[in-house]
Structure 1
Amino acid sequence: MGYRWVVLCIGALAQGVNAAVFLGLPAISPQLQQHFSLTLPQVGLLLGAVNLGTMIALVPWGVFADRRGERLTMTIGGVGAAACLLAVALGNAWLAGLALLGAGLFGASVNAASGRAVMSWFSAGNRGLAMGVRQTATPLGAALTAAVLPGIAISQGVPVAFVALASVTAFVALAVALLVREPPGATRAGSDHGLILKDPKLLRLSLASGLLVVPQFTATALLVPLLSAHGMTVTAAAVVFGIAQVVGGAGRLAVGVWSDRVRNRVGPLKIIAMVMAVGFVLVAVLDEAPVPALVAVLVPTTALAVCWNGLAVTEAGELAPDGRSATAIAMQNSANYLSAAITPFLAGFVAVHVGWSAAMVLAAVAAVAARVLLQPWRSLRASSPQNSRSVS
């Protein structure tokens, strides 16, 4: 196996562990509420601290990764995140909030640096697949955490759950330090990152990505409540949710291969956006339909809403000059995190005060708006060294 696949495996593992914190922790919300004596909204604020820290730190970590390399970036970030998670286990609610903010600040290093590793080691012909593997680690890490962490929190207590998270995070940071290196002749960036952040195409891609997160998080936030409101048990609705996530995770690999074969990231992204919009409109129309019909549309629509991320991340990296992909990826991710922080509240508010169908139509409109932003577009500049490098 080529060394580049070792780098990809370590990067994907780091991405999955990072997802365990910012996506998996809601699985122990009841235990956090009881342990820290919090109300439900206060638990929401506590968990939101991770996303806030991540959003703030993404671009600075991207600049650091481009200048100093992904190994140092992810090692520092992993050790820092592990220390912050350990602090959650030792403190009260206030300290826990600050520590989770710190975990987000340090954990953001993985998002930009692991993407830079893929851009550095894989050529344009197989980068879509590689980035799909990296992106698939996010839902898998969150799913594994949701399956394991509640049992630890219930049987051993919340502090032990955070010690476990800290231990895994530290282990991955050690693996990064020992096993990850840059390819021969890798380019380090200078001081002109501001030019990348002002690039019109990157700004458009970032805004389109943020809009596509609206249907993604509308689906993930409302699928279980929607099916429950239509008479399905919570357990059965959770199974449907899990199936949709698994299909969406497999879809990340499939669309990555698709983009490699057509040598274009944004073309497939535009198609997915429009099919996704149609799916959400159908869900809105089927609001009063029998549950099996609703499920038959919800599952593929949710999978489509989950599967596109790797395409946007890869395109962001390929838009950047050689050696500056981490900064570009961080910029694109920042828009995603901002939208992810807002969408669950917005979708829930619309669903409660206007109706389920209105929330689904809002998701469809966001997908169409993203499609409009991506037209016209040229991808994979053949002259860019970022797109022609091939390392094994």
Structure 2
Amino acid sequence: MGYRWVVLGIGALAQGVNAAVFLGLPAISPQLRDHFSLTLPQVGLLLGAVNLGTMIAIVPWGVFADRRGERVAMTIGGAGAAVCLLSAALGNAWVAGLALLGAGLFGASVNAASGRAVMSWFAKESRGLAMGVRQTATPLGAALTAAVLPGIAISAGVPTAFVVLASVTAFVAFAVALLVREPPGAVRGGSEHGLVLKDPRLLRLSLASGLLVVPQFTATALMVPLLHEHRGMGVTTAAVVFAVAQALGGAGRLAAGVWSDRARSRIGPLKVVSVLTAGGFVLVAVLDQAPLPVLVAVLVPTAVLALCWNGLAVTEAGELAPDGRSATAIAMQNSANYLSAATTPFVAAFVAVHVGWPAAMLLAAVAAAAARVLLQPWRSLRASSPQNSRSVS
């Protein structure tokens, strides 16, 4: 019974370290901009390279994890990501962009494989909480990175910041290889993954998730530039606000997981969060020129809402899958997320610079509202799936 929490802890740690790259790096966007002599939209492209790599590789990693197990997938992926991050410290913007693309290609293993571990070791009635813990590691990893990485980048330089990320990633890959194993009787997937990827419910969930990533990454990629460059807040203070929002977003993921367990529904809470997120971004757009304390008081809870929903969608995706195919289903759901994550930083920054910051916030609101519409005709068939009755002791 106790070992499943070890697996969850290692999986959450791996998830948090992976998030330090694709969510934490925006905290040093001013330093990246200066170091590589980039414009704000170009920094968005650089940051989006990680997510592009993850989007390309996540489904193949999911299939691999279902066939070979999560320990092998996460160990290989973590080691490869560490090498790529180390390479990012050694060159110009083009080298860094390719290295971050590679970090995404390898780091994608964590997203699918750690989710499979949770689905395998936890029964349905506690899975929302467990997946919430795993997903909470994402904003917490980003928050810790936002609190520490700017100081490293300012005092020791951007290359040193990449070396630190590479070192932590390598350490976690070693921990996975040493401590993670599958439960007794674990089912391995075969060649039938195509049936999972064609499930219309999974496709609709994936599309809705991709739309919800637009407000999430609008908040993540633009919070520091909005507060620092647009409204004149000090860069360190802006990074602290970013870190606070990420930490609260992590707590929100945990709360959302408990909520879904008690409601016996992942989609019901997801619908509510979609509506509240849309409303929050409309309010941020309206208050664009309000006094800074007022803007921050609205921006932070809106960012928390935009960050808190991921565990609900990931759990629903895993529960829609046949037994032994959860990594493939989770990877499919995540692939839409990373497509949006790869494009949103650039698109949102372009709209903010060339149209206006309120327009970028309204774009995020529209995406959240569209996700809510997609989730409306939902009927879950989780109860009939072997994946959903499994219990491991």
TM-score by length of 2: 0.91
Asked if 1:323 is matched to 2:324, the reply is yes
Q: CA deviation at 1:232?
A: 4.8
Q: Deviations over 1:79-133 (max 9, x none)?
A: 2222222333455655444333222211110010001101111111111111111
Asked if 1:241 is matched to 2:242, the reply is yes
Q: Deviations over 1:271-295 (max 9, x none)?
A: 1111222222233333454444433
CA contact (8 A) 1:265 1:379 kept: no
> Secondary structure at the residue paired with 2:376?
coil
CA contact (8 A) 1:124 1:263 kept: no
Q: Deviations over 1:264-316 (max 9, x none)?
A: 10000001111222222233333454444433332222211111111011111
CA contact (8 A) 2:26 2:220 kept: no
Equivalence for 1:98: 98
- Separation in structure 1 between the aligned mates of residue 254 and residue 97 of structure 2, nearest angstrom: 35
Equivalence for 2:38: 39
CA contact (8 A) 2:4 2:122 kept: yes
CA contact (8 A) 1:123 1:389 kept: yes
> Secondary structure at the residue paired with 2:380?
coil
Could you tell me which amino acid in structure 2 is paired with residue 185 of structure 1?
Answer: G
Equivalence for 2:147: 147
- Separation in structure 1 between the aligned mates of residue 134 and residue 269 of structure 2, nearest angstrom: 18
Q: CA deviation at 1:263?
A: 1.0
CA contact (8 A) 2:147 2:243 kept: no
Asked if 1:60 is matched to 2:28, the reply is no
Could you tell me which amino acid in structure 1 is paired with residue 285 of structure 2?
Answer: A
CA contact (8 A) 2:256 2:309 kept: yes
CA contact (8 A) 1:209 1:336 kept: yes
C-alpha distance 97-293 of structure 1, shift in aligned 2 (>3 A): closer
- Separation in structure 2 between the aligned mates of residue 357 and residue 116 of structure 1, nearest angstrom: 39
Q: Bigger CA drift: 92-101 or 132-141?
A: 92-101
> Secondary structure at the residue paired with 1:126?
helix
Q: Deviations over 1:229-270 (max 9, x none)?
A: 456555544443333222221110001000011111000000
C-alpha distance 42-294 of structure 1, shift in aligned 2 (>3 A): closer
Q: Bigger CA drift: 73-82 or 344-353?
A: 344-353
Could you tell me which amino acid in structure 1 is paired with residue 142 of structure 2?
Answer: A
Q: CA deviation at 1:20?
A: 1.8
Alignment of 1:275-290 (within 5 A): 275-290=276-291
Q: CA deviation at 1:134?
A: 1.0
Could you tell me which amino acid in structure 1 is paired with residue 148 of structure 2?
Answer: V
- Separation in structure 2 between the aligned mates of residue 88 and residue 355 of structure 1, nearest angstrom: 32
Equivalence for 1:268: 269
Asked if 1:256 is matched to 2:264, the reply is no
C-alpha distance 154-362 of structure 1, shift in aligned 2 (>3 A): closer
Alignment of 1:1-392 (within 5 A): 2-29=2-29, 32=32, 38-40=37-39, 44-90=44-90, 94-227=94-227, 229-230=230-231, 232-379=233-380, 381-392=382-393
- Separation in structure 1 between the aligned mates of residue 155 and residue 222 of structure 2, nearest angstrom: 29
CA contact (8 A) 2:50 2:342 kept: no
CA contact (8 A) 1:62 1:330 kept: yes
- Separation in structure 2 between the aligned mates of residue 347 and residue 381 of structure 1, nearest angstrom: 36
- Separation in structure 2 between the aligned mates of residue 350 and residue 30 of structure 1, nearest angstrom: 18
Q: Bigger CA drift: 233-242 or 140-149?
A: 233-242
Q: Bigger CA drift: 371-380 or 179-188?
A: 371-380
Q: Bigger CA drift: 298-307 or 24-33?
A: 24-33
Share of identical aligned residues, percent? 84
CA contact (8 A) 1:273 1:370 kept: yes
- Separation in structure 2 between the aligned mates of residue 188 and residue 197 of structure 1, nearest angstrom: 17
Could you tell me which amino acid in structure 1 is paired with residue 38 of structure 2?
Answer: T
Q: CA deviation at 1:221?
A: 3.3
Could you tell me which amino acid in structure 1 is paired with residue 23 of structure 2?
Answer: L
Could you tell me which amino acid in structure 2 is paired with residue 241 of structure 1?
Answer: F
- Separation in structure 1 between the aligned mates of residue 205 and residue 172 of structure 2, nearest angstrom: 31
- Separation in structure 2 between the aligned mates of residue 31 and residue 291 of structure 1, nearest angstrom: 23
CA contact (8 A) 1:263 1:380 kept: no
CA contact (8 A) 2:74 2:109 kept: yes
Q: Deviations over 1:184-226 (max 9, x none)?
A: 1111111011111111111100100011111212223344444
Q: CA deviation at 1:46?
A: 4.0
C-alpha distance 102-241 of structure 1, shift in aligned 2 (>3 A): closer
Q: CA deviation at 1:391?
A: 1.3
CA contact (8 A) 1:380 1:387 kept: no
Note the aligned Cα RMSD (angstroms).
2.4
- Separation in structure 2 between the aligned mates of residue 137 and residue 3 of structure 1, nearest angstrom: 19
TM-score by length of 1: 0.91
Q: Bigger CA drift: 348-357 or 276-285?
A: 348-357
Q: Bigger CA drift: 266-275 or 280-289?
A: 280-289
- Contiguous gaps of at least 5 residues in structure 1: none
